[in-house]
Structure 1
Amino acid sequence: MPVRRSERLDGCELVWTDDRIAVVGVVDQVNAGAVAGRLCAAVAGVVTVIDLGGVTFFSAAGMHVLEAVAAAAAAADAIVQVSCSVAVWEIAEVCGATDLPGLVLDRYPRADPDEVEGRGAKP
């Protein structure tokens, strides 16, 4: 049975489950340092998957989070899979950081527009 724990930071929540950590909410100047610290410590431990699919706002300060996690992954000689929400992916793409060494960034799976109710859903 997976062990699950969570921590609330200013504007977001981090949820750990075995080798995975999810961030939900906002990553901005207020909490970026704390988020980076938690993620880097997790990567130095056993975390190999970071789920940013629940991040609704990702400021430029969030890029420092990704850079710090990439450095932690390199120091741990690890590769970390990062699932990105649209907000995260757009900032990473604009900053040219979709291919940071040590990280594999993926766009978060999007719902098929035909399956979303009210947007052409099939009866």
Structure 2
Amino acid sequence: MHVHHDSGAVAAPVIGFDQFLAVDIRVGTIVEALPFPEARKPAYRLAIDFGPAIGVKRSSAQITEHYTLDQLPGLQVAAVVNFPPRQIGPMMSEVLTLGFPDADGKVVLFHPGVPVPNGGRLF
């Protein structure tokens, strides 16, 4: 799942709309950000609230270059919520938090420019 760090120079193959719909991308608010010293690459452990239907889910994110732990709580982010959970060191990552690479390939979180209700689905 984590072979997705290419800069996007080449477009991906054409897919059907139903394949896009199969990927459940939701917005949530980070409610907790903790250090993750056990991670192989510098990362944080996040708890993200996706609203009443989905609840709070955990994620590991390699976002240490652009964000400090105290900046993250309250920030709305987008995540894929329907991948199977993945064991990352001692934690179970339940959702894939989404971001884009900056010019140096470091992750910038993808978040709405205007506050939206937690749990909203990307379309």
Same fold (TM over 0.5): no
Higher relative contact order (CA 8 A, sep 6+): 2
Could you say which TM-score interval applies, normalised by the shorter chain?
A: under 0.3
Task: Provide TM-score, normalisation by structure 2.
Answer: 0.22
Higher gyration radius (CA):
1
Q: TM-score, normalised by structure 1?
A: 0.22
Which one has a larger percent helix, Structure 1 or Structure 2? 1
